Amino acid sequence: MVAAEIYVSGRVQGVGYRYFTEKIAARLGVTGWSMNMPDGRVMLDIEADRPSAEKFVRELEKGPAMASVTGVAVTWKPFQGRHSGFIIRF
């Protein structure tokens, strides 16, 4: 199990990106949260088994149809079991 702090750059606000992350997280068994940042990025804090977390990151690089992802910065961290589900923070 791993955790990660992720920042996604590009046209990722106002295009359903956070809802996309919620859907993908449910499909892959990823827990944590996503939220819009004031600087236009989306931040995520996730936990999952390593293969699911890596697949989740690959999906983040694609994004939903209306998004245009220009960067995904991932900082891997030790798993702490802090999340029980996946939510969108506002």
3-state class (DSSP) for residue 88:
strand
Catalytic residue annotation: 18, 36
Please state, in angstroms and as integers, the Cα–Cα distance from residue 44 to each residue in 13, 20, following that order.
13, 12
Q: Running DSSP on this structure, what letter comes out for residue 84? A: S
Q: Would residue 10 be called left, alpha or beta, if left means φ above 0 and alpha means ψ between -120 and 50 degrees?
A: left
Q: Running DSSP on this structure, what letter comes out for residue 41? A: -
